[in-house]
């Protein structure tokens, strides 16, 4: 648990946080954010822009939350196709947001608004009601801020959290044979993992998995901290990944970066590939699958009827468990 001084310090740091600004100012009842954006902008709203462009058929390049050259080119191409503004600098204003939303039907459906206490209790049967009521709002805000409020990604987010934390709380990785050698110090198997960016003891223990999605390794703590506008703060204080608001934003960032692959996998019924894109493996796959399909049956979307993911999964030929 984070001490009150640490939480206060984190709140102070967020004044300069370009990603968290969006989630902190988002109204609880609305996912449609239309802030003005220009080339060079960074943040959650740019992830939303990139998602809309991609869904409209215009490739913005990597989903990285940066309004760079490729995102600008995709926006220019969209505007030329649907009404150019005559050579003005490429920017996104209220009219452009609405034009994009008009060409992406999924943007009109806020699936997060359909997630109520009853559905959460069904998806997380072992979670305390207090945890559900405390932690769903920051997860919802983060999904909205990153443009992940449509059914596919809401179901994916809920299933991911369920596979990692049955209690719907940000959790720290526990000692196991996977991370700790027989008779070794806790998490010593991680200490020299180059793929995690670890440099030796005590990096394994210090940068063990934390959060709604298990953020693991020095390199990932450093990268995610910078992407969320925290500079080196998360690297210096990795326990902050257990703070619910930040844990929700880390979850949304992970999903937003992998959105393209996740949606392609889900639309072809390959639930295993979708899980691997976030987890790196199939840890908790059975729970992930059952939660995803339960959310699919519960959430309404005119473009993705209830039960459609289950039909796709059964027809894909991939193993079900």
pLDDT of residue 87: 58
Mean pLDDT of the chain: 86
Report the 3 state secondary structure along 59-106: CCCCCCCECCHHHHHHHHHHHHHCCCCCCCCCEECHHHHHHHHHCCHH
Tokens representing 31?
Answer: 């996912």
Read off φ and ψ for residue 148, nearest 5 degrees.
-115, 35
DSSP assigned state of 4: H
**Greatest pairwise CA separation for the chain in angstroms:** 69
Domain boundaries, the chain: 32-105, 111-170+251-315, 171-242
Q: Could you give the 3-state DSSP secondary structure of residue 180?
A: coil
Q: How confident is the model at residue 145 (pLDDT cuts 50, 70, 90)?
A: confident
CA distance 282 to 301: 28
CATH number given to 32-105 = 1.10.101.10
- Rounded average pLDDT over 195-211: 97
Nearest to 267 by CA among 231, 225, 315: 315
pLDDT value of position 242: 97
pLDDT by residue (tens digit) across 47-80? 889 988 988 889 998 888 899 999 999 999 999 9
Nearest to 79 by CA among 96, 104, 65: 96
pLDDT of amino acid 82: 85
Inter-CA distances, 172 with 197, 211, 271, Å: 19, 7, 25
Lowest mean pLDDT among 44-48, 183-187, 262-266: 44-48
In this predicted structure, what is the pLDDT of residue 146? 87
The pLDDT of residue 10: 38
The C-alpha atoms of residue 8 and residue 321 are separated, in whole angstroms, by: 44
Alpha-carbon distance 145 to 125, whole Å? 27
Q: Looking at residue 318, what is its pLDDT? A: 60
* Mean pLDDT across 24-28: 36
d(CA 110, CA 300): 10
231-262 as b/e: b if 16+ CB within 10 A? eebbbebbebbbbbbbbbbbbbbbbbbbbbeb
- Identify whether the C-beta of residue 80 lies closer than 8 Å to the C-beta of residue 33: no
Could you tell me the two tokens for 76?
A: 């220019």
Tell me: pLDDT of 15 over 60.
no
Q: For 204-213, what is the mean pLDDT?
A: 97
What are phi and psi for residue 210, nearest 5 degrees?
-150, 155
Q: What is the pLDDT of residue 86?
A: 55
pLDDT, one tens digit per residue, over 78-112 is 999 987 655 566 789 999 999 998 888 777 789 99
Task: Kindly give the residue spans of alpha helices, DSSP state H, lying in 207-307.
Answer: 218-227, 233-236, 244-257, 259-267, 271-279, 285-298
- Residues 282-315: pLDDT tens digits? 989 999 999 999 999 999 988 888 999 999 998 7
Query: Which run of H or of E encompasses 100?
Result: helix 94-102
- Determine the angle formed by the axes of helices 18-25 and 244-257, rounding to 10 degrees: 110
Q: Which residue spans within the chain are E strands per DSSP?
A: 37-38, 91-92, 171-172, 210-211
């Amino acid at each position: 648990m984070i001490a009150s001084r640490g939480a206060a310090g984190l709140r102070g740091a967020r004044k300069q946080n370009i990603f968290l600004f969006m989630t902190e100012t988002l109204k609880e009842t609305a996912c449609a954010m239309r802030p003005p954006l220009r080339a060079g902008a960074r943040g959650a709203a740019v992830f939303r822009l990139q998602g809309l462009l991609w869904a409209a058929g215009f490739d913005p390049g990597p989903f990285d939350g940066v309004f760079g050259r490729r995102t600008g080119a995709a926006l220019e191409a969209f505007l030329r196709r649907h009404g150019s503004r005559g050579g003005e600098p490429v920017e996104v204003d209220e009219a452009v947001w609405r034009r994009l939303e008009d060409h992406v039907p999924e943007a009109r459906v806020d699936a997060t608004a359909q997630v109520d206490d009853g559905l959460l209790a069904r998806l997380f049967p072992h979670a305390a009601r207090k945890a559900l009521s405390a932690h769903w709002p920051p997860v919802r805000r983060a999904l909205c801020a990153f443009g992940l409020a449509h059914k596919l990604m809401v179901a994916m987010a809920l299933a991911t959290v369920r596979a990692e934390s049955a209690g719907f709380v940000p959790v720290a990785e526990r000692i196991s044979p996977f991370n700790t050698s027989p008779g070794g110090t806790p998490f010593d198997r991680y200490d020299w993992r180059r793929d995690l960016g670890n440099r030796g003891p005590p990096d394994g223990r210090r940068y063990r998995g934390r959060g709604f999605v298990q953020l693991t390794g020095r390199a990932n703590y450093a990268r995610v901290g910078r992407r969320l506008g925290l500079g080196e703060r998360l690297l210096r204080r990795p326990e902050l990944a257990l703070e619910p608001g930040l844990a929700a934003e880390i979850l949304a960032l992970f999903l937003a970066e992998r959105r393209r692959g996740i949606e392609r996998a889900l639309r072809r019924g390959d639930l295993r590939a979708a899980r691997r894109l976030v987890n790196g493996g199939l840890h908790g796959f059975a729970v992930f699958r059952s939660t995803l399909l339960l959310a699919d049956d519960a959430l309404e979307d005119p473009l993705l009827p209830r039960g459609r993911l289950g039909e796709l999964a059964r027809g894909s030929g991939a193993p079900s468990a």
